[in-house]
Amino acid sequence: MKNNNVNILSISPLPSPGEIKSEYPMSLKSTANVVAARNQIMDILDGRDQRLLIIVGPCSIHDLDSAIEYAKRLKSLSDEVKDRMFLVMRAYFEKPRTTVGWKGLIYDPDINGEYNIEKGIAVARELLLKIVETGVPVATEMLDLVLPQYIADTVAWTAIGARTTESQTHRQLASGLSMPVGFKNATDGGLDTAIDAISSARSCHSFIGVTEEGHSGIFRTTGNQCGHMVLRGGNKGPNYGAEHIAYIKVAMTKRDLAPRIIVDCSHANSNKKHDLQKVAFNDVINQIVGGEKAIRGLMVESNICAGQQQVIPGTTPLPGVSITDACIGWEDTKDLILDAYKRLPATKE
């Protein structure tokens, strides 16, 4: 009588993280780019660097060529604003689903329900390397607990999402990650979960993970001191207003946490309407221009083309148009950032 793996259809071995990294190695230039970007983000979060962190890019990546095109455009824009802003590209390959739906490029790279995860990991890593090689740092969300071993060395900033911020295993993972980690407030808008997560991730942890060789191993961490709050709104609406920022600063200070805040202009902060990201973005810029120091960055969902498209079985989705959440288009993105750049005070040398 079978009493194990009763609901498992099949099990397929994956190449080890070390094997994937050997096939898609990072150059010395890319390694230096990632380390430099992480250090600059840490300096921004800690207030040593007065620039504003802008994490911008597609809700999710489904087309490789359009992702590279977006990175090239972002690099050019970054060079224009680099004295007041530090731009990082969203490169999201895992999409948490409330019920079901496309789970992201890593899980379903061919968008056909075949879940060729081995291909997805290779494709995602190769794309990340190409983006980083251009000099554009990347940000992503860590959802699966094993995948960081395959791609985390390419990533400058990462998020723990609203649905997983409460997860103890994700807090443990964050405590060992090598880059700054932003914890999103809960989907209901509650802040305590994210504050608890930031505190937990600062501590030492031990957990079971996968080694470079693909074996199970015990990982012991030092704790991540670069955890911070990412506001994404909640069931009651946006939470980026000055009154929300004031409340959060007090709440974090009471927990002996530096009030380091990034505002995600999408999700509930835009009432799930992509055009309203501009409203949130400009409100936050007004607060910063007015002297607010706790807000260290913003996040915007942006693509080459505005809007969103539905995936139709048997057809190939259009490039440059989101197949998950709707995004603002490139021209609006560029105008938004350049306008904010003009309004931001010059940074001190």
* 89 domain-assigned: yes
Q: In the chain, how many domains are there?
A: 1
* 298 domain-assigned: yes
Give alpha helix (H) positions in 24-167: 28-46, 64-81, 117-133, 148-151
Long-range CB contacts (within 8 A, 24+) of 169-173? 169/145, 169/207, 170/142, 170/145, 170/197, 171/197, 171/200, 171/201, 171/205, 172/200, 172/205, 172/206, 172/207, 172/221, 173/142, 173/145, 173/148, 173/207, 173/209
- Identify the burial level of 285 via C-beta atoms within 10 angstroms of its C-beta, where 0-12 means exposed, 13-18 middle and 19 or more buried: buried
**pLDDT tens-digit profile, the chain (349 residues):** 888 999 999 999 999 999 999 999 999 999 999 999 999 999 999 999 999 999 999 999 999 999 999 999 999 999 999 999 999 999 999 977 666 678 899 999 999 989 999 999 999 999 999 999 999 999 999 999 999 999 999 999 999 999 999 999 999 999 999 999 999 999 999 999 999 999 999 999 999 999 999 999 999 999 999 999 999 999 999 999 999 999 999 999 999 999 999 999 999 999 999 999 999 999 999 999 999 999 999 999 999 999 999 998 888 999 999 999 999 999 999 999 999 999 998 876 5
From 213, 227, 113, 131, select the one nearest 177 (Cα to Cα).
227
The DSSP letter of residue 85 is E
* 220 domain-assigned: yes
* 76 domain-assigned: yes
pTM of this prediction?
A: 0.96
pLDDT at 1: 80
* 9 domain-assigned: no
* SS3 (DSSP) at 2: coil
Partner residues linked to 141 by β-bridges: 159
CATH of the domain at 239: 3.20.20.70
The answer to whether the CB of 42 falls within 8 A of the CB of 226 is yes
Report the 10 Å Cβ neighbour count for 14. 14
Q: How far apart are CA 114 and CA 119, in angstroms?
A: 11
pLDDT at 312: 87
Maximum alpha-carbon separation in the chain? 72
Beta carbons within 8 Å of 331's beta carbon, 6+ residues apart: none
* 12 domain-assigned: no
Q: Which residue has the tokens 């010395």?
A: 28
Q: Which domain holds residue 56?
A: 17-343
pLDDT at 186: 95
